[in-house]
Structure 1
Amino acid sequence: MITDLIAGLFMIAGTFLMFLAGLGLLRMPDLLMRMHATTKAGAMGIGLVMIGVALHFLEAGVTARVLIIVLFVMLTAPVAAHTIGRAGYFVGVPLWEGMLKDELKGRYDAETHTLASPPEHQNKEP
Structure 2
Amino acid sequence: MSIFGKIKDAIFGRMDPGAGNRPQIPAGWDGGPPAGTPGASPAPGTTMQDVDVEQVLTQIQSDKGNPDLNWRTSIVDLMKLLGIDSSLDNRKELATELGYTGATDGSAEMNIWLHKAVMKELAKNGGKVPSNLTD
- Report the TM-score when normalising by structure 1: 0.28
Larger relative contact order (Cα-Cα within 8 Å, sequence gap ≥ 6): 2
Q: Which has the larger radius of gyration?
A: 1
User: Which of the pair is proportionally richer in helix?
Assistant: 1
